[in-house]
Amino acid sequence: MDDCIGDCRTEIPVMLEVSNVIREGKGQTSFFFRHKLECKPGQFLMIWLPGVDEKPMAVSYSSKNEFAFTSQAIGKFTTALEKIRKGDKLGIRGPYGNSFSRKENACVVAGGVGLSSVSTLIDALKNPLIIYGARTKEHLIYLKRYKNKNMLITTDDGSFGRKGFTTDVLEEVLSKNKKIKIIYTCGPEIMMKKVFDICNKYKVELEASLERYMKCSFGICGACMIDDKIVCIDGPIFNSSQLNKLSEFGKYARLKTGRKVTLNEYHSWKD
Ligand SMILES: Cc1cc2nc3c(=O)[nH]c(=O)nc-3n(C[C@H](O)[C@H](O)[C@H](O)COP(=O)(O)OP(=O)(O)OC[C@H]3O[C@@H](n4cnc5c(N)ncnc54)[C@H](O)[C@@H]3O)c2cc1C
Ligand code: FES
């Protein structure tokens, strides 16, 4: 049973023991598993907490015999995860979704816990420029992990790095640095929509990892639709030409019930 997650994708949750728990930032925790996982940068897992729920989480660390995901406590499921300790078990299925293209001369733009969805990509790239923002100093993650990387940090309140948004820095960088050929991004969709507009302005390629409400993660239920795309199968990563055709990107998402709502309503909704 255990070997299935290492050598093939599993559609049935495999109960794995948590080998380590690391507090990364305010309400942000990484859960490690001493286990092999074949996955590509940008792919995600479904995490099952029996009796609570099952939700998608990006693979945030991946090495030969270990992997992890990093969760931000925002609602019922992610708050319940905060009580999980080393030695407890979680159900894991996946990995799911497509992956980032891994081109050189890249810049990675991440907001909040979105850094976890691009972290295995950063590990796979040769010296990318990273533009990373969070609300406050307390919400920044992986500062030690990426201490030797080329990283520009912003906080909304100016408590660490530059005061402001990642998109302000991206615009400045692209206006001066013509060597950057591709932007990879993950974070709040409002940020990714601004990144998308800036990339269109400077004619730089973009790949963005989208977040939609997911139930099955293998294309059956239709919960994760954006326009005519099934995010769990066709995504979660979409490139510039695909994003240009998605009329709902940066505007609408669907609740658990399937009702289409504005992004503001989506993000204020609690399960
Ligand atoms: C492909 C993918 C990868 C993700 N990776 C991570 C990750 O690495 N770390 C992380 O902390 N979060 C990640 N998320 C988001 C995470 O799944 C949700 O934040 C989580 O499900 C919230 O559950 P909750 O019960 O704690 O909060 P809830 O009370 O259910 O929801 C709070 C808010 O989170 C959003 N949300 C809720 N459920 C989902 C869902 N199933 N899919 C997407 N958004 C949802 C809604 O905006 C909602 O308003 C990812 C989502 C997707 C689609
Ligand atoms: S989550 Fe069911 S189709 Fe994508």
Q: How do residues 96-125 score in pLDDT, each as one tens digit?
A: 999 999 999 999 999 999 999 999 999 999
Residue extents of the structural domains in the chain:
2-96, 106-268
Classified by CATH at the fold level, domain 106-268 comes out as Rossmann fold (3.40.50)
Which residue of 45, 46, 213, 216 sits with most ligand 2 atoms within 8 Å of its CB, as the best mutation to test the pocket? Answer: 216
Cβ of residue 219 lying under 6 Å from some atom of ligand 2:
yes
* Ligand number with the minimum distance to the CA of 233: 2
Domain 2-96 = CATH 3.40.50.300: no
> What local confidence, expressed as pLDDT, does residue 211 receive?
95
Which amino acid residue places its CA nearest to atom 40 of ligand 1?
213
Q: What is the pLDDT of residue 5?
A: 65
Strand extents, DSSP E, the chain: 10-17, 20-25, 28-33, 44-49, 53-58, 61-63, 66-72, 89-96, 106-111, 129-134, 150-155, 162-163, 182-186, 205-209, 225-226, 229-230, 237-239, 252-254, 260-262
What is the reported pLDDT for 7? 62
pLDDT at 167: 98
Low-confidence ranges of the chain (pLDDT < 50): 1-3
pTM across the whole model = 0.94
Q: What local confidence, expressed as pLDDT, does residue 178 receive? A: 85
Tell me, what's the pLDDT at 9?
Answer: 76
